[in-house]
Chain A
Amino acid sequence: MTEVSYRQAITQALADELEADERVILFGEDVAAAGGVFKATEGLQERFGAGRVLDTPISEQAIVGCAIGAAIRGLNPVIEIMFADFAGVCFDQLANELPKYRYMTDGQVSVGLTVRLANGAGGGFGAQHSQSVENWFLSMIGLKIVTPATPADAYALLRASIRDPNPVLFFEHKNLYNTTGELEADVPATIGKAAVAREGSDITLVASQLMRYRALEAAELLAAEGVSAEVIDPRTMIPFDLETVGASLHRTNRLICVQECPQGGSWGATMVAALMAEQFESFDAPPILVGGDETPIPYSGELEAAWLPSPERIADAARRTLAY
């Protein structure tokens, strides 16, 4: 298979779904003529026409609401919220309308649409353009939340998200767009399956998106010390593959979760609570959540680097756990 970037994988998945199904349409700010501010939709309007790939005003409530209306009449919209943080200006549509519409009407409508959002820190965008926004939506039952880290996962999971009859928030980490890798297969994946990114037997590191790569680096540091760390990437936050993480924990008996956010209301906190409740006996040491500091995300390169979990911080946490 060919080596592609995360960005190209996204574009390819969109193109393949636009090709496969006429009900698929794409709209958002600057996604059509300009090809997207992250260039993830480049060439799609030329290829599929202005009737199917449309630019919108800077108007997130209209973008999401319009997609909901189009979806319940049978179209399959894919929309882009440029920076995931802009979910704040259409939070009502994303939190009150999108997840609850089907439930409140007792199944009279299906809201099959995909919201693409550029997520995450590390690029010097400051506190309002860098957050890990998937955490805002963990209690919005009725949504699926997808957070791919590799080009292969981005491709296969985006296609799966578009084909899913439910609303899916699809988070693309903006610092991974240039990451390259091979597409393993040109078919959609199953939403809700974690990946074992590195096998190991002494400790389990759970990390997603950019933190998957940092956790893998930490695993290298630990390997040099003779510690075998397993790295698991959940890939989707809802549904969350607790089984795969739990099975790993059952073998390693030690757990670290690495995430790009403060701990309150985070996916890591949710995961740890569930594992504590379900398999308390698996733990030989207290689990550790390695995350961003309890501050907004700072702008300066040094401050942001200090804010984000580094491989060294992750490895330190692992050493503490192993020494417990």
Chain B
Amino acid sequence: MAPRTSAAAKQARNELGLRCFARMLLIRGVEDEVQRMFTQGLVRGTTHLYQGQEASAVGVCMALREGDTMTCTYRGHGAVLAMGAPADAVLGEIMGKAKGLCGGKGGSMHLTDVGVGAYGSFAIVGAHLPIAVGLSFASRYLGDDAVSVCFFGDGTTNIGAFHEALNLASLWKTPTIFVCENNRYGEYSPQSLTTPVERLADRAASYDMPGVVVDGNDVFAVHATAGEAIERARKGLGPTLIESLTYRQVGHSRSDPAKYRPEGELDAWLARDPIVLLERALIEGGVAEDELHALRASVEQDVEGALERAKSWAEPTLESRFENILA
């Protein structure tokens, strides 16, 4: 028997879905631009894109409230935007501009916007997991009920800092939400080549912590799963490991054409693109297609405007490199 949803619940779901839809489109739009910017030589070094994983970051971050903190990886444009960082300052930072989020000192791999709770993007695999434990330890010590969310990839579950962080978080019952975005590949290698367990959420059992698996391309499912973990953490019941099953539609970094993917894999996942899935769910939920088209057009314009602004910004002054080394 299908569950009967009240009109109010349906409306609330649609509203949430639309908020997520707009944010996911923004991330997709920004990442598509970054891909183009890279080929135009506007991005230095390397960049790690997030297309295909938008529902993970957005589903989790939409379940947070003001005061909560988020840390993520070098593939972090999506999570930082999901927290509400302005797209122009994100693009500006990726171009190394003075008005970028970090004044051009961080770049693509280190986007940070503390004002919206985005406490950092970390470029060393696993490094931010213990830091997230500390962020949430402080919340408890200070007596606020903020939680700390930390995004990382499947590859991170093989590095020491992951295990040290989960162990300490569980021991101290810190309000930490560990979100493993299992996008199938650690850099160029599929999970099966590097990891002896199939279900990464199972690793939580070693730390007497709940380990939950969720369809990471279904933003409603991610939102609900994150919501439960967050509530648990706020109540003082400790951390949760969430394994969000998703897919990286692009290579590891801009130098990786991802030739190692088996034939048909990408197509199968493109058919489950999180934005397509959400659009379908919203239409099924009664949202007018016109409204969705209008939203798409509006976000596209926003991205375009953000890009133009960011491109127009000045380079950092040479003196600025000596600033903010010490407090």
Which residue numbers of A lie inside 8 Å of B, CB to CB?
25, 51, 54, 56-57, 59, 61-75, 77, 92-93, 96-97, 101-112, 141-142, 144, 165-166
The 8 Å CB contact of A97, one of B124, B141, B165, is B124
Q: Is the CB of B325 within 8 A of A68?
A: no
Q: Is the CB of A75 within 8 A of B141?
A: yes
Q: Is the CB of A96 within 8 A of B127?
A: yes
Which residue numbers of B lie inside 8 Å of A, CB to CB?
69, 101-106, 110, 112-114, 119-120, 122, 124, 127-139, 141-142, 148, 160-161, 164-165, 167-168, 171-172, 323-327
List, in ascending order, chain B residues with CB within 8 A of A73's CB: 69, 134-135, 138-139, 142
**A77 to chain B: closest residue by CB:** B134
The 8 Å CB contact of B327, one of A62, A93, A165, is A165
Q: Given the known A-B contacts A92-B124, A96-B127, are A102 and B327 also in contact in the complex, defined by CB atoms under 8 Å? A: yes
List, in ascending order, chain B residues with CB within 8 A of A141's CB: 325
Distance between Cα atoms of A112 and B326 in the complex (Å) = 10
Q: Is the CB of B134 within 8 A of A68?
A: yes
The 8 Å CB contact of A108, one of B114, B122, B325, is B114
Q: Given the known A-B contacts A92-B127, A109-B119, A112-B327, are A61 and B114 also in contact in the complex, defined by CB atoms under 8 Å? A: no
**A96 to chain B: closest residue by CB:** B124
List, in ascending order, chain A residues with CB within 8 A of B112's CB: 104-105, 108-109
Q: Is the CB of B124 within 8 A of A70?
A: no
User: Could you give 13 example pairs across A and B, Cβ below 8 Å?
Assistant: A57-B168, A59-B168, A62-B130, A62-B165, A62-B168, A65-B127, A65-B128, A65-B129, A69-B138, A96-B127, A97-B127, A108-B113, A109-B120
Q: Is the CB of B138 within 8 A of A65?
A: no
Q: Is the CB of B137 within 8 A of A70?
A: yes
Q: Is the CB of B142 within 8 A of A69?
A: no
The 8 Å CB contact of B135, one of A72, A112, A144, is A72
Q: Is the CB of B168 within 8 A of A105?
A: no
Q: Is the CB of A70 within 8 A of B134?
A: yes
Distance between Cα atoms of A125 and B106 in the complex (Å) = 41
The 8 Å CB contact of B110, one of A51, A77, A105, A111, is A105
Q: Is the CB of A106 within 8 A of B134?
A: no
The 8 Å CB contact of A106, one of B106, B130, B131, B136, is B106
List, in ascending order, chain A residues with CB within 8 A of B165's CB: 61-62, 65
Q: Given the known A-B contacts A65-B127, A105-B102, are A70 and B326 also in contact in the complex, defined by CB atoms under 8 Å? A: no
Q: Given the known A-B contacts A74-B138, A101-B120, A105-B102, are A59 and B132 also in contact in the complex, defined by CB atoms under 8 Å? A: no
Q: Is the CB of B134 within 8 A of A69?
A: yes
List, in ascending order, chain B residues with CB within 8 A of A68's CB: 130-131, 134
Distance between Cα atoms of A25 and B142 in the complex (Å) = 12
Distance between Cα atoms of A303 and B119 in the complex (Å) = 49
**B100 to chain A: closest residue by CB:** A106
List, in ascending order, chain A residues with CB within 8 A of B139's CB: 73
Distance between Cα atoms of A201 and B324 in the complex (Å) = 41
A95 to chain B, nearest CB (A): 10
Q: Is the CB of B167 within 8 A of A103?
A: no
Q: Is the CB of A69 within 8 A of B137?
A: yes
B274 to chain A, nearest CB (A): 29
A76 to chain B, nearest CB (A): 10
Distance between Cα atoms of A112 and B138 in the complex (Å) = 14
The 8 Å CB contact of A62, one of B101, B113, B164, is B164
The 8 Å CB contact of B130, one of A64, A75, A165, is A64
Q: Is the CB of B134 within 8 A of A71?
A: yes
Distance between Cα atoms of A232 and B146 in the complex (Å) = 49
Q: Is the CB of B164 within 8 A of A61?
A: yes
List, in ascending order, chain A residues with CB within 8 A of B323's CB: 106-107
**A105 to chain B: closest residue by CB:** B112
**B165 to chain A: closest residue by CB:** A62
Q: Is the CB of A107 within 8 A of B168?
A: no
18 additional A-B residue pairs with CB within 8 Å, beyond A105-B112, A165-B327, A166-B327: A51-B141, A62-B168, A65-B127, A65-B128, A65-B161, A66-B130, A68-B131, A72-B131, A73-B134, A74-B142, A102-B324, A103-B325, A105-B102, A105-B324, A106-B103, A107-B327, A108-B113, A142-B326
Q: Is the CB of B325 within 8 A of A142?
A: yes
Distance between Cα atoms of A106 and B112 in the complex (Å) = 9
B179 to chain A, nearest CB (A): 16
List, in ascending order, chain A residues with CB within 8 A of B120's CB: 101, 104-105, 109
Distance between Cα atoms of A266 and B186 in the complex (Å) = 38
**B102 to chain A: closest residue by CB:** A106
The 8 Å CB contact of A66, one of B119, B137, B324, B325, is B137
List, in ascending order, chain B residues with CB within 8 A of A93's CB: 127, 130
Q: Is the CB of A109 within 8 A of B114?
A: yes
Q: Is the CB of B324 within 8 A of A65?
A: no
**A106 to chain B: closest residue by CB:** B103
Distance between Cα atoms of A97 and B132 in the complex (Å) = 13
